[in-house]
Amino acid sequence: MDITTFISQIENEIEELTPGSLKPETEFTSLKEWSSMHVLILIALIDTEYNVTITGADLQQCKSVNDLFNVVKSRV
């Protein structure tokens, strides 16, 4: 798995994001209108695409996109 694909998958699922705006260092909470719905989408996306279970608490630990990428990568 690679981070470019990971980022484009997230951008594809979260309609509020402008394609190309998400960077590895982007912090989720810094995103405009970040909400519990986006948490649900990230959890479902990672479950569907990578068969990896992420909890809300995991997501809280991950500040940036790169942090989350590393957690998912370590569990695939």
Partner 1 sequence: MTAFHLHNKTFLVTGASSGIGRQVAISICEMGGNVVITGRNEERLNETLSMLKSGENKSIQAELLDEQEVQRLVSALPLLDGIVNCAGTVSPYPIKFLSDKKIDEVFNINYKVQVVLTAQATRAKKLNKGASVVFLSSISALHPHRGGALYAGSKAAIEAFSKVVALEFFHLQIRSNCIAPAMVKTPMYDKAEAQGTKEQMDAHISKYPLGAGTPEDVANAAIFLLSDASKWITGTTITLDGGFLLGGL
Chain positions 15 to 74 lying near partner 1, rule: CB under 8 A, are: 36-37, 39-41, 43-45, 47-48, 55-57, 59-60
Can residue 8 be called a binding residue for partner 1 (CB under 8 A)?
Answer: no
Can residue 11 be called a binding residue for partner 1 (CB under 8 A)?
Answer: no
CB nearer to partner 1: give 2 or 15: 15
Amino acid sitting at position 48: T
Cβ–Cβ contacts within 10 Å for residue 74, how many?
8
- What residues line the site for partner 1 (CB under 8 A)? 13, 36-37, 39-41, 43-45, 47-48, 55-57, 59-60
